């Protein structure tokens, strides 16, 4: 079901339209090889200009979602399969392991790595050894190349300063932690799960529309001997992820 576009949003109208068409494909409203409405029909549905519609269609063609057939119209590319949901067996399972359990190839793209001043909560968690600092690692996690999650983690610098130098694209931080330190991350106390809306920056990183529903997961992670490992935040595209608890 088409949704109303928001002219007041920071996200351009053509991107909002792209997101809506992709959601309709994912929901099965438009199946592979189905013809989507014409430019005139889309203009009537969404009440936007032909320029906006043409740009959205062009971008979706370039990304392989839609294909134009001369004299016939625009169709859903049969090679663009609907997005599948990923099922996680709880909060303590790493993303790479979750993907593999669902028959998907995990990936990661590094966005930010830096040594930062720790906030009071993080500093208290790391203790004196952290010296008031944290190693911040922000990555986009992908499943079969599709952006699905943003990881924003603060690592204990007394144990994980090596994260500032090692390759982090398409690597599992869980495996690196185990290989380098012998520690196995596990949650300390309760993990918090909440629902938020994607900011403009998050939407760009995850290739979704602004205000797309995201799961936010926050937690503290320690080793087998309660060694403070990291403070973690994850932002997950909610429509493609479900938890089995």
What is the per-residue pLDDT across 184-242, written as a single tens digit (0 to 9) for each? 888 887 789 999 999 999 999 998 888 889 999 999 999 999 999 999 999 999 887 77
Indicate if 99 and 217 belong to the same structural domain.
Answer: yes
The alpha-carbon radius of gyration of the chain (Å, integer) is 21
Query: For position 181, what pLDDT does the model report?
Result: 94
Query: For position 111, what pLDDT does the model report?
Result: 97
Query: For position 93, what pLDDT does the model report?
Result: 58
> Is residue 136 a contact partner of residue 161, using CB atoms and an 8 Å limit?
no
Indicate if 174 and 226 belong to the same structural domain.
Answer: yes
Indicate if 34 and 128 belong to the same structural domain.
Answer: no
Indicate if 148 and 65 belong to the same structural domain.
Answer: no
Query: For position 115, what pLDDT does the model report?
Result: 98
Virtual torsion, Cα 150, 119, 210, 19, nearest 10 deg: 0
Indicate if 222 and 126 belong to the same structural domain.
Answer: yes
Indicate if 69 and 92 belong to the same structural domain.
Answer: no
Query: For position 95, what pLDDT does the model report?
Result: 78
Q: What is the DSSP letter of 37?
A: P
Burial of 9 (0-12, 13-18, 19+ CB in 10 A): middle
Residues of the chain with pLDDT under 70: 1-3, 79-93, 243-245
Domain range for 22 is 13-76
CATH code for the domain in which residue 198 is found: 3.40.1410.10
- What's the structural domain count of the chain? 2
Indicate if 56 and 92 belong to the same structural domain.
Answer: no
**Cα–Cα distance measured from residue 150 to residue 109, given in angstroms and rounded to the nearest whole number:** 10
**Cα–Cα distance measured from residue 142 to residue 94, given in angstroms and rounded to the nearest whole number:** 13
**Cα–Cα distance measured from residue 66 to residue 39, given in angstroms and rounded to the nearest whole number:** 13
Indicate if 225 and 135 belong to the same structural domain.
Answer: yes
Query: Beta strands of the chain (E only): which ranges?
Result: 66-69, 73-76, 86-88, 106-117, 133-143, 146-155, 186-187, 192-197, 213-222, 228-237, 241-243
Query: For position 37, what pLDDT does the model report?
Result: 94
- Give pTM, 2 decimals: 0.65
Query: For position 82, what pLDDT does the model report?
Result: 46
Indicate if 58 and 112 belong to the same structural domain.
Answer: no
Indicate if 23 and 100 belong to the same structural domain.
Answer: no
- Is position 112 within any domain? yes
Angle subtended at Cα 80 by Cα 238 and Cα 77, rounded to the nearest 5 degrees: 135
Half-sphere exposure of 135 (CA within 13 A, CB side): 16
**Cα–Cα distance measured from residue 176 to residue 78, given in angstroms and rounded to the nearest whole number:** 38
């Amino acid at each position: 079901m088409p949704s109303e576009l928001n002219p007041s949003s920071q996200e351009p109208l053509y991107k909002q339209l792209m997101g809506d068409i992709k959601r309709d494909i994912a929901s099965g409203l438009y199946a592979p090889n189905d013809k989507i409405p014409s430019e005139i029909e889309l203009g009537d549905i969404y009440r936007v200009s032909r320029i906006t519609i043409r740009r959205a269609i062009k971008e979706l063609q370039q990304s392989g979602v839609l294909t134009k057939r001369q004299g016939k119209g625009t169709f859903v590319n049969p090679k663009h399969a609907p997005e599948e949901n990923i099922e996680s067996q709880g909060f303590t399972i790493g993303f790479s392991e979750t993907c593999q359990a669902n028959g998907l190839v995990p990936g990661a793209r590094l966005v930010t790595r830096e040594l930062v001043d720790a906030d009071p909560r993080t500093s208290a968690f790391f203790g004196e050894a952290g010296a008031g600092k944290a190693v911040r690692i922000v990555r986009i996690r992908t499943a079969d190349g599709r952006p699905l999650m943003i990881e924003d983690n603060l690592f204990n610098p007394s144990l994980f300063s090596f994260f500032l130098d090692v390759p982090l694209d398409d690597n599992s931080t869980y495996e690196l932690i185990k290989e380098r330190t012998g520690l196995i991350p596990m949650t300390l106390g309760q993990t918090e799960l909440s629902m938020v809306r994607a900011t403009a920056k998050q939407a760009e990183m995850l290739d979704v529309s602004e205000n797309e529903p995201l799961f936010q997961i926050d937690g503290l992670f320690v080793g087998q001997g309660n060694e403070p490992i990291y403070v973690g935040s994850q932002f997950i595209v909610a429509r493609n992820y479900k938890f089995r608890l």
